[in-house]
Amino acid sequence: MEDRNYKTLKEELNSTFSDEYIRNVSLLIHQMAEQFYEEQKLEGKVYFDDIVFEYCLIDILEDIARLRHFHDIELVNYVKLMAYTASWCLKRKPFQMIEGASVDYIYVNERFALSLLLQASGCFDSGIKCAKEDVEKVEKLVEQIFYHLKYRNTNPQTLELLLVGIENGKLLYNNSRSN
């Protein structure tokens, strides 16, 4: 049998990313998870499994490395990073319910993915103002996205398309309001 020179996972990731890049992506996603954990008041009901998170991070970086190599690009944009992150968090489920927690926390990973996607869309930041007549439409959109995350195909491509659609919707809305 032919002798092959296989790279270890660390060698493979380091051939694509610097240690600084890996550390920064890890810190960014971990900070978002911590913020979500605190804002949702999950202590005592849900815990964040750091080992599962490490596997999420590896999967995210492997996918981004493949994407960079396939498209021969240097950087992957923030929307793609968040789409891959949301997708892998939905698959790996780093938030785990504590025994005895109510059924309200069954979809905690889907809520986390929703928070990532809404933040990445840029139109659901706390400083964004929404016209009174549009509040109901925005709430319905958020409900539909959450439904998609719970029951539909959540691969990175569909999540990226969702974010691109929101961005284009904002452009169309802003253009129609200014005319």
Contact 142, 113 (CB under 8 A): no
Structure tokens at 153: 């195909």
- 46: which strand partners? 97
As beta bridge partners, residue 22 has: none
Residue 38 has pLDDT above 70, yes or no: yes
**Residue 48 CA, distance from chain mean position:** 15
Q: Which of 75, 72, 63, 19 is nearest to 157 (CA)?
A: 63
More confidently predicted of 16 and 111: 111
Backbone angles phi, psi at 47, to 5 degrees: -125, 155
Q: Residue type for 150, please?
A: K
Q: How far is CA 137 from CA 60, 162, 170, in A?
A: 32, 16, 13
User: How is the chain split into domains, by residue range?
Assistant: 9-178
Burial of 93 (0-12, 13-18, 19+ CB in 10 A): middle
21-33 pLDDT, tens per residue?
Answer: 999 999 999 999 9
The DSSP H or E segment spanning 106 is: none
Q: 9-37 b/e with 16+ CB inside 10 Å = b?
A: eeeebeeebeeeebeebbeebeebbeebb
The predicted structure's pLDDT at residue 1: 44
Of 59, 66, 90, nearest to 152 by C-alpha is 90
**What per-residue confidence (pLDDT) applies to 123?**
62
Is the predicted pLDDT of residue 44 greater than 80, yes or no? yes
Q: Is residue 175 predicted with pLDDT exceeding 70?
A: no
* Pairwise pLDDT comparison (36 vs 125), residue with the higher score: 36
**pTM for this predicted structure:** 0.85
Mean pLDDT of all residues in 160-179: 76
Statement: residue 174 has pLDDT above 80: no
Q: Which of 3-17, 41-55, 58-72, 100-114 has the lowest mean pLDDT?
A: 3-17
